[in-house]
Amino acid sequence: MPDLPTKTLTTVQDALLAWFKEESRALPWRTTRDPYAIMVSEVMLQQTQVDRVIPVYLAFLKQFPTFHNLADAPAADVIRAWAGMGYNRRAMNLQRAAAQVTELYEGVLPSDLKALRGLPGVGEYTAAALACFALGQEVAVIDTNVCRVLGRVFYGPEGAPEKELANVAAQALPDGEAWSWNQALMDLGATVCTSRRPTCLLCPVRSDCQAAGAFLATNGAVAESRGPYKTKPEKFEGSSRYYRGRVVDHLRGLAVGESCDLPTLGTVVKPDYISGDQPWLLDLLQGLQRDGLIAMRGEGSIVTVTLPL
């Protein structure tokens, strides 16, 4: 962190915590202490916005109330319950993590950061989030919001150098307030200090922010200087991701035990599908199978596909 007067840091901490007390979003995973529920929310929130998670999260917990329930459920049910979320691999990772918790840790989420990090689908961010939000530990979490907010406040419009972030986040953490502080940073990032169009006029820390002046001067517009993406985002329709999603979505719609043959599946997901596309389809399916998202039976031309048992 750049040389920052302790007084400034304290001011920022107090202002943001006070703001959070008044303006925090009411989110379902903030009113539970159940580590399992918190974990479900954290995995769902990986690259998926709050508004889209809430209804799926509530239904998911109703259907799979505990680690044990999730671990024992048919994978097909879990994949169906994940509908609308995207990144379907997360559903399988979450179920494998649940199995690991029941088998290795007697159904209790481990409190050790390293053990958490060893669960499938739990990376650096989620391990810290679980430690703080599910287990009450005083650790800083670093997600895209925290990264942006801290970067702007303490460095400026361009944000913080990548390698300094962990250090900054750790130093900024107020004693005994990790839960509120982390939640507050994410709320501010999601609602005020947004990526495209920060509304500094509504920000509780604008008077101590290294970026607010520049943003206010340009009427809230973020400078182009952050530059366009290095690599062009591939277009979604027609991509492998697109067809993977369509395959899984079609299989979700089948009755339990019902399977789908290759020509039918190909035609459903790709309107202009021809028999010559079968190698392409098989390749696509192989990837899905490797991710545990589908099951294939049979040989050669009589292959059928279903959600996994």
Q: Which residues contact DNA (rule: CB under 7 A)?
A: 27, 29-30, 41-42, 45-52, 84-89, 93, 120-127, 129, 143-145, 148, 162, 183, 186-187, 189-190, 194-197, 226, 228-236, 239-242, 244-246, 248-249, 287
CB of 52 closer than 8 Å to CB of 43? no
Q: How far is the CB of 123 from DNA (least distance, A)?
A: 2
Minimum separation from the CB atom of position 12 to DNA (A) = 19
- Round to whole Å and give the CA distance between 46 and 44: 5
Residue nearer to DNA on the CB measure, 11 or 117:
117
How many CB atoms lie under 10 A from the CB of residue 255? 6
Q: Nearer to DNA by C-beta: 219 or 275?
A: 219
Cβ closer to DNA: 124 or 301? Answer: 124
**Closer to DNA by Cβ: residue 114 or 235:** 235
> Which single residue is written with the structure tokens 């580590």?
35
**Nearest distance from residue 5's CB to DNA, in Å?**
28
Helical spans, DSSP H, in 45-137: 50-63, 67-72, 75-81, 89-104, 113-117, 124-129
Helix (H) or strand (E) holding 297: strand 295-297
CB of 248 to DNA, least distance (A): 6
**Is the CB of 10 or the CB of 283 nearer to DNA?**
283
What are the residue numbers of the active site? 42
Q: Report how far residue 221's alpha carbon sits from residue 150's, in angstroms, rounded to the nearest whole number.
A: 18
Helix/strand/coil for 260: strand
For residue 193, CA distances in Å to 40, 50, 181 come to 26, 16, 15
Q: Residue 187 CB, nearest distance to DNA (Å)?
A: 6
* Exposure string over 8-30, b if 16+ CB within 10 A, otherwise e: ebeebbebbbebbeeeeeeeebe
